[in-house]
Chains A and B, each alone.
Chain A
Amino acid sequence: GQQLNQSPQSMFIQEGEDVSMNCTSSSIFNTWLWYKQDPGEGPVLLIALYKAGELTSNGRLTAQFGITRKDSFLNISASIPSDVGIYFCAGHTIYNFNKFYFGSGTKLNVKP
């Protein structure tokens, strides 16, 4: 099946630092989504991207839909302790709008 390569797998950063993570696919994607999962809970949608080149912000979070439509990145600026969690990229290819694929996640740890 389709594989999404998400990196890095985990990050340990100091409060106040900026964070960047990215996702690449072998197929062209029509949608890129970024989710955050807190321990014991379901993923929560952070940002949705629907057009190549699109750059969207949500507070301290910024995500971009790559021009090639095979990649996306998420930046978090000035990290705070509550940013701790697992971040997932997700999306669907141009071949099937109903089938979703998720990356393996980036585990973020923030030291106060």
Chain B
Amino acid sequence: EAQVTQNPRYLITVTGKKLTVTCSQNMNHEYMSWYRQDPGLGLRQIYYSMNVEVTDKGDVPEGYKVSRKEKRNFPLILESPSPNQTSLYFCASSSETGLGQYFGPGTRLTVL
């Protein structure tokens, strides 16, 4: 089954404790992206990747890092999480840049 998976689905952590949210897709998609969703703000793009080793900033990259060492995986790294990064995070992928994306199920992160 074609899908985008994220782990963990729920995470509660404390300020400053490094964490990684994994994202994996099984569709051999080139384009992958991370979004955060906050009430009233819709989804905002954090980082995107056009292919392996090619990443760039979205609209709200501050406080986040990504890597794309393999085509199928695109982890989101928070080196020193802060409470304003409490949000619902979505990973997405598409076969090419500019096309409609498939979204993962989301990761709800709470930073205390």
Q: Are B31 and A98 in contact (CB under 8 A)?
A: yes
Q: Are A97 and B103 in contact (CB under 8 A)?
A: no
Which residues from chain B contact A35 at a C-beta distance below 8 Å? 103
Of all chain B residues, the one with the shortest Cβ separation from A103 is: B42
B contacts with A, residue count (CB < 8 A): 27
In Å, the complex CA distance between A31 and B101 comes to 12
Interface centre among A35, A45, A103 (most CB of B within 10 A): A45
Which residues from chain A contact B12 at a C-beta distance below 8 Å? none
Whether A98 touches B97, Cβ cut-off 8 Å, given contacts A104-B40, A105-B42, is yes
Whether A41 touches B97, Cβ cut-off 8 Å, given contacts A102-B35, A102-B43, is no
Q: Are B90 and A99 in contact (CB under 8 A)?
A: no
Which residues from chain A contact B97 at a C-beta distance below 8 Å? 97-98
Contact with B along A22-42 (1 / 0, CB 8 A): 000000001101010000111
A92 at interface, CB cutoff 8 A: yes
Whether A99 touches B106, Cβ cut-off 8 Å, given contacts A45-B101, A92-B98, is no
Q: Are A45 and B106 in contact (CB under 8 A)?
A: no
Shortest distance between the CB of B55 and any CB in chain A (Å): 10
Shortest distance between the CB of A14 and any CB in chain B (Å): 26
Which residues from chain B contact A101 at a C-beta distance below 8 Å? 45, 59
Q: Are B103 and A98 in contact (CB under 8 A)?
A: no
Which chain B residues numbered 39 to 60 have a C-beta less than 8 Å away from chain A? 40-45, 48, 50, 56, 58-59
A43 at interface, CB cutoff 8 A: yes
Whether A42 touches B90, Cβ cut-off 8 Å, given contacts A33-B100, A48-B99, is yes
Report the 3 A-B pairs with minimum CB-CB distance, sorted nearest first.
A42-B103, A45-B100, A102-B43
Chain B residues close to A by CB (< 8 Å)? 4, 31, 33, 35, 40-45, 48, 50, 56, 58-59, 90, 92, 97-106
